[in-house]
Amino acid sequence: MTNNISGNKRGISPLIATVLLIAFAVALGTVVMNIGAGTINSVPNYTAKCEETFVDFFVFPDSTPDVCQAEEEVRMTIKSFNSKVDGVKVNINAEIGADSIDKFFEKPLKDGSAGKVILPFSRQKNGKVTAVEIIPILGNEKSPAYCQSNPLAISDIKVC
């Protein structure tokens, strides 16, 4: 008596099975690469826009810029030129300490519009602010582009 486990059924040859597995792997790889390429191409390139983007302080009629230091914060009004600005990187130097703060606006500043920036910075802890540098930011918090080619600096900071 012959004990035949598979009965009369025949299996796929190992060569055909190998070819099918390779074809499946190539098809799956192609799908993954296409999804990844779409994600990479959706990230904007801000290099060209940064060249033409800059910010300036709002200036009062007596020609003084709107930048001042209160007890617990630094306040300023920023104007955008030539492009919309999504935020600013503010480097603050003081007598005792320094800080670098990224501040994103609720709504981007359009070309020619102004926005108020209030940053926490203790005068009692850090001393008097000696200089402020502002760098425009294009993009969002997840992928910011710092436009370092056009920084704005001021060294005469008044007390609010």
Mean pLDDT for 66-73 is 90
Long-range contacts of 99-106 (CB under 8 A, 24+ apart): 99/126, 102/137, 102/141, 102/144, 104/137, 104/140, 104/141
pLDDT tens digits, one per residue of 27-63: 998 888 887 766 655 556 666 677 888 788 888 888 8
Q: What is the DSSP string of 43-80?
A: S---HHHHHH-EEEE-B-TTS-BSEEE-SSEEEEEEEE
pLDDT tens digits, one per residue of 106-152: 888 888 888 898 989 888 888 899 999 999 988 888 888 888 887 88
pTM of the model: 0.67
pLDDT tens digits, one per residue of 90-109: 999 999 888 888 998 888 88
* Predicted confidence (pLDDT) at residue 88 exceeds the cutoff of 60: yes
Q: How far is CA 41 from the centre of its chain?
A: 16
The whole-number pLDDT of residue 26 equals: 93
The whole-number pLDDT of residue 23 equals: 94
- Other residues' Cβ atoms within 10 Å of the Cβ of residue 83: 21
pLDDT tens digits, one per residue of 8-28: 566 678 888 899 999 999 999
Contact (Cβ atoms closer than 8 angstroms) between residue 78 and residue 114:
yes
